[in-house]
Amino acid sequence: MDKIYASRVNSPVGPLLLGVSARGLAVLSFAPEPPAKLAGKAVLWEYSDEAVSEARQQLHEYFAGHRREFTIPLDLRGTEFQLQCWDQLQRIPFGETLSYAEVAQAVGRPNAYRAVGQANHHNPVAIIVPCHRVLAGGLALGGYGGGLATKAFLLRLEGAHFHDEAATALRPPSLPFTE
């Protein structure tokens, strides 16, 4: 059974769970508890602030606006298709976005945009494998495991252009001007 060292870190988007294996960062999650399995295989969790210190530092720099790329080694576990999608996500530059259809095209499966959405949903390393940079058609936010407010926050932090449904929904109705 593989051992994952875990710790929590507070962030502007709420508490994050970090999990590091001997090979690299395996989990960056919004979930309150570590998953029992990674890619279908049971793992043993042990809490260690020291083991996740590099990931914690890079996240701190990102949220402070001082890091645009992450250099921490990753230990991504998934199907071949998921790994292809997650690799493509890491190629999306800071502050830019792609649609689900564009990611599907980039991995050689142009009609698999829904499968790309599912691969994003199962991304075990949020933020660093930037599934928040994938938008639905027309620059709409689409979905996000950390919630749409978190996705919008991350995209604003990076200066990306997107259609903010939440801001639109909160906009007061226009009233005719009368004298």
3-state secondary structure 45-71: EEECCCCCHHHHHHHHHHHCCCCCCCC
For 49, the token pair is 């602030």
The single residue of 4, 131, 134, 141 carrying the catalytic annotation is: 131
Reply yes or no on whether 131 is catalytic.
Answer: yes
With contact defined as beta carbons under 8 Å apart, do 28 and 71 qualify? Answer: no
Q: Which residues have a catalytic role annotated?
A: 131
